[in-house]
Amino acid sequence: MDRQVTKEEVPSYELVEEKIKEIDGSIIILRIFYIFMHIAYKFQLIKNDKLCTVEVPRKLLEGLKNGNIILEKELNEIIYESLEGSDCWNKV
Cβ(31)–Cβ(47) below 8 Å: no
Please state the pTM of the whole predicted model.
0.91
The one-digit pLDDT tens for each residue of the chain (92 residues) are 689 999 999 999 999 999 999 999 999 999 999 998 889 999 999 999 999 999 999 999 999 988 889 999 999 999 999 998 878 899 88
Total count of residues recorded for the chain: 92
Please report the pLDDT score of residue 30 as a whole number: 96
- Which segments within the chain are labelled E, that is strand? 3-5, 28-35, 40-47, 50-57, 90-91
Contacts for 1 with CB less than 8 Å, ≥ 6 apart: none
Please report the pLDDT score of residue 6 as a whole number: 95
**Which residue range is the domain that position 24 belongs to?**
3-91
Please report the pLDDT score of residue 86 as a whole number: 72
C-alpha Rg value of the chain to the nearest Å: 12
Task: Tell me how many domains the chain contains.
Answer: 1
